[in-house]
Chains A and B, each alone.
Chain A
């Protein structure tokens, strides 16, 4: 046993690298790559929580984050004095996160009775609806123009919009939410959610209200996405219908698929990869080809490693151990009599 790729040491190495990374990096790397990866990763994390643990693929996570962004803009400092309210920034953030959580619950209430592809469709419809609403509504969304000049606050004399403090803020949020999701997976709620993913009917007969659990999971996903939305609007300095377009919603799904949904780390791995491609592919292919390339990479991942990069690493690690571990038994014991064919249990 070499100990290479052991999750504990890999995790620690990553953590050290993430913490010391700004010492060596240029502002471009710190903000465009570092902070933005964390922000995209947080929004994708909300999807991985729902999809990986709950078996529910939601296309509405980016607009949930978008709503939080709009709340930050409308109730905070931005460039047009004729618009919105200027609440103290602490209250503003609380409001934004509460709005995102409530929106998540609302999406859950709508989507919870649908399964599989129908849930994807209904949440996609919500995302598209949100985009058009943002484009047409003057009162809250300021239609086409959106809001500009939004700035992260200054905290104890530390300006959170400077590259290094902003990076650490994003890193702190990313790591905390990642830790939260990992820990939540082992609690009664998290295990019940995974049980519902595996077999909702079974969970009912074990005493669980499946619909309530699903809605609560959507609420938690909304909370995570909303934090991502607050950071995202601070990062961009503006929010407009372009920030909540369908393309961006699909990007979040791509990130989750790239990284893999079997573990929350997949959200951040996927975000990093997506972000690197987005920033550097432009150097050698033109803008129009970018989507084609992302599409091809996505296709390759779905075809050759359905559980994303995280799944690939898992597989490599298992290969690494083979030899001093018995192979995992996967098929039911073939020597047993097979169960009766006639079955009234499955509708």
Chain B
């Protein structure tokens, strides 16, 4: 299934739409009645205190923990009940709040697995005729994220900041349509943070990016539109300037900053 079909959709079909999405964990309601619409190529930030349900929102979209109520549409297509791998093949990618890598494999093999995951032939016992193209894509990802020197290292051996970069590179394999980044700047040194923001800004405008960010300055600097979450619900939405000026947001958000 070619990933690019999603891109050819007209502009009035949202890249991603959630309709009253909810998620329970037993008795705990982690997410409730969340309705969101993202246009193609939009840069959206999601902010909110710890435990607000931001990561859970990503998990419902990617299918890691599918929603217990509501519907999710990716480029107009209902993905609510799809397994995670099917959503990924439709052009959805994510990173995790704590980077999840294939620890015993080298960074190069992590990239290769990411590339093949999108490209197909996942069950092949041979590398195939397009092995050269795979290798080029691996190098492109490494160059884009500045991790070329790490290619030969095992993922378990690299530093936290490097893991973040490698994970973002893996999410960029095959150029996604919708990219969900869960606190990509968390735990980074100020220098690495700058590199990361520069990378995010340099990504093609065809990619719709949703960024969960705890640091309000980073979030408001990157996003065109901001969604604030609180207690599993959408608290409010607006332009960065309006959100920055909103006193209620500061009360619920800044008050819990180090939660």
Residues of A within 8 A of B (CB): 184, 186-192, 194-195, 197-199, 201-210, 212-213, 216, 328-330, 332-333, 336-340, 342-347
Q: A188-B127, A199-B103, A345-B98 are in contact. Are A336 and B118 (CB under 8 A)?
A: no
Give CA–CA (A340, B63) in the complex, Å. 23
B142 contacts the other chain (CB 8 A):
no
- Chain A residue numbers with a CB within 8 Å of B122 are 188-189, 192, 207-209, 213
Contact in complex: A207, B117 (CB < 8 Å):
yes
B221 contacts the other chain (CB 8 A):
no
User: What's the minimum C-beta distance from A131 to chain B, rounded to whole angstroms?
Assistant: 32
User: What's the minimum C-beta distance from B94 to chain A, rounded to whole angstroms?
Assistant: 6
- Chain A residue numbers with a CB within 8 Å of B158 are 332
In order of increasing CB-CB distance, the 4 nearest A-B pairs are A207-B117, A333-B159, A206-B117, A344-B55
- Chain A residue numbers with a CB within 8 Å of B118 are 206-207
Give CA–CA (A190, B128) in the complex, Å. 14
Contact in complex: A342, B157 (CB < 8 Å):
no
User: What's the minimum C-beta distance from A143 to chain B, rounded to whole angstroms?
Assistant: 39
- Chain A residue numbers with a CB within 8 Å of B202 are none
- B112's nearest neighbour on chain A, judged by CB, is A191
- A344's nearest neighbour on chain B, judged by CB, is B55
Contact in complex: A194, B102 (CB < 8 Å):
yes
User: What's the minimum C-beta distance from B3 to chain A, rounded to whole angstroms?
Assistant: 10
Residue from A187, A206, A210 with most neighbouring chain B CB atoms (10 Å): A206
B133 contacts the other chain (CB 8 A):
no
Contact in complex: B105, A191 (CB < 8 Å):
yes
- Chain A residue numbers with a CB within 8 Å of B194 are none
Stretch among B10-18, B36-44, B83-91, B237-245 lining the A interface: B83-91
Interface size, chain B (Cβ < 8 Å) = 59
- Chain A residue numbers with a CB within 8 Å of B143 are none
Cross-chain contact of B160 among A330, A332, A343 (Cβ < 8 A): A332
Give CA–CA (A235, B150) in the complex, Å. 49
Cross-chain contact of A336 among B56, B103, B161 (Cβ < 8 A): B161
Contact in complex: A333, B161 (CB < 8 Å):
yes
Contact in complex: B101, A206 (CB < 8 Å):
no
Give CA–CA (A203, B113) in the complex, Å. 8
Contacts beyond the supplied A189-B122, A202-B101: 19 A-B pairs with Cβ under 8 Å? A184-B125, A188-B113, A191-B112, A198-B103, A198-B105, A201-B64, A205-B84, A208-B113, A209-B83, A212-B123, A328-B157, A330-B157, A333-B162, A340-B187, A342-B259, A344-B30, A344-B56, A344-B59, A345-B97
Residue pairs across A and B with CB atoms within 8 Å: the count is 150
Cross-chain contact of A198 among B59, B83, B104, B183 (Cβ < 8 A): B104
Residue from A186, A187, A205 with most neighbouring chain B CB atoms (10 Å): A205
Give CA–CA (A134, B29) in the complex, Å. 52
Give CA–CA (A328, B122) in the complex, Å. 32
User: What's the minimum C-beta distance from B28 to chain A, rounded to whole angstroms?
Assistant: 11
- Chain A residue numbers with a CB within 8 Å of B113 are 188, 191-192, 195, 203, 206, 208
Give CA–CA (A339, B164) in the complex, Å. 11
Give CA–CA (A274, B157) in the complex, Å. 35
Give CA–CA (A320, B228) in the complex, Å. 57
B76 contacts the other chain (CB 8 A):
no
- Chain B residue numbers with a CB within 8 Å of A205 are 62, 64, 84-85, 88, 93-94
- Chain B residue numbers with a CB within 8 Å of A206 are 85, 88, 113-114, 117-118, 170
Cross-chain contact of A187 among B100, B110, B125, B259 (Cβ < 8 A): B125
Contact in complex: A188, B64 (CB < 8 Å):
no
- Chain B residue numbers with a CB within 8 Å of A203 are 102, 113, 117
Contact in complex: A207, B259 (CB < 8 Å):
no
A–B Cβ pairs within 8 angstroms, 25 of them: A187-B124, A187-B127, A188-B116, A188-B121, A188-B127, A189-B122, A194-B109, A195-B113, A197-B104, A199-B101, A199-B102, A202-B101, A203-B102, A203-B113, A206-B118, A206-B170, A207-B88, A208-B85, A208-B122, A328-B157, A329-B157, A332-B158, A333-B161, A337-B187, A345-B98
- Chain B residue numbers with a CB within 8 Å of A344 are 30, 51, 55-56, 59, 97
Give CA–CA (A220, B121) in the complex, Å. 17
- B25's nearest neighbour on chain A, judged by CB, is A347
